[in-house]
């Protein structure tokens, strides 16, 4: 596989002609109609659109969780659609982080353990994984919450844990699907500010699927999906 290159503003994701068609015995629904885009390292890109227009479908394809019906997808100059299941899983664990609307933290584990989990899959020393997780949690103001389980944290705190968990492997890309959709206004604003700050300080690339116009307008570029077509500035 291609090693990660840290040259600023390199193209880290390139998609061309992405189509997704869902078929049943009697119907055919084309959700994405030839989506093409490029994303550069360190960019924050928002994709907006009404519910059901294909934002999550696009995220799943770009994040290699699903395959398109047609199209091409390169991440870090790697043709990811040509990889087999095991190779793709390894690539995804190394290069991609995810944040979803519901934090998806494991309730039986502490905040620190949840952030450590992605690193535990790899071959790195446990002490280094732990140190990285502690550093990330402290960077978002959760140094007093290492040993708290999700049920002992607020919604905003859980989502902050989810964001830093996505960063635990120093991924090339972080995909966020309605990351503030389950939070109140104050927690949403705090999460938005945190994402922008992390992107700037870590040169981290974020692609955010959202209906929140305040969040979208705070990022570098905004696209809009309508009728399966992406319009990206």
Q: For the chain, what are the domain ranges?
A: 11-232
- Residue 99 pLDDT: 87
Q: Which helix (H) or strand (E) holds 86?
A: helix 85-95
| Residue 17: CB atoms within 10 Å | 14
- Residue 2 pLDDT: 44
Residues in the chain: 233
Measured CA angle at 206 (ends 13, 225), to 5 deg = 75
- Residue 13 pLDDT: 95
Question: What would the pLDDT profile of 102-154 be if each residue is shown by its tens digit?
Answer: 778 899 999 999 999 888 876 668 888 899 899 889 888 888 999 999 999 98
pTM for the complete prediction? 0.83
Measured CA angle at 118 (ends 3, 80), to 5 deg = 40
- Residue 128 pLDDT: 87
Q: Which helix (H) or strand (E) holds 99?
A: strand 96-99
Q: How far apart are CA 11 and CA 150, in angstroms?
A: 36
Indicate the CATH number for domain 11-232.
3.40.50.300
Q: How far apart are CA 207 and CA 42, in angstroms?
A: 10
- Residue 103 pLDDT: 76
Q: Enter the tokens of residue 84.
A: 């087999």
| Residue numbers of the chain with a pLDDT score lower than 70 | 1-9, 122-124
């Amino acid at each position: 596989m291609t090693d990660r290159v840290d040259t600023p503003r390199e193209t880290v994701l390139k998609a061309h002609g992405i189509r997704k068609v869902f078929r049943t015995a009697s119907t055919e629904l084309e959700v994405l109609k030839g989506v093409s885009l490029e994303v550069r390292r360190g960019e924050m890109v928002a994709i907006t659109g009404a519910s059901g227009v294909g934002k999550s479908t696009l995220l799943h394809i770009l994040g290699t969780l699903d395959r398109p019906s047609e199209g091409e997808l390169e991440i870090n100059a790697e043709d990811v659609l040509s990889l087999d299941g095991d190779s793709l899983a390894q690539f995804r664990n190394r290069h991609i982080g995810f944040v979803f609307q519901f934090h998806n933290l494991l309730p039986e584990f502490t905040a620190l353990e949840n952030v450590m989990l992605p690193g535990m899959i790899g071959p790195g020393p446990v002490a280094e994984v732990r140190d990285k997780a502690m550093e990330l949690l402290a960077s978002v103001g959760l140094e007093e919450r290492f040993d708290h389980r999700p049920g002992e944290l607020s919604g905003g705190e859980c989502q902050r844990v989810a964001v830093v968990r996505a960063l635990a492997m120093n991924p090339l890309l972080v995909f966020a699907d309605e990351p503030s959709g389950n939070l109140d206004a104050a927690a949403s604003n705090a999460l938005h500010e945190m994402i922008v700050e992390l992107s700037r300080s870590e040169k981290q690339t974020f692609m955010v699927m959202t209906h929140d116009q305040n969040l979208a307008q705070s990022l570098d570029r905004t696209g809009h999906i309508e009728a399966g077509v992406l319009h990206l500035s």
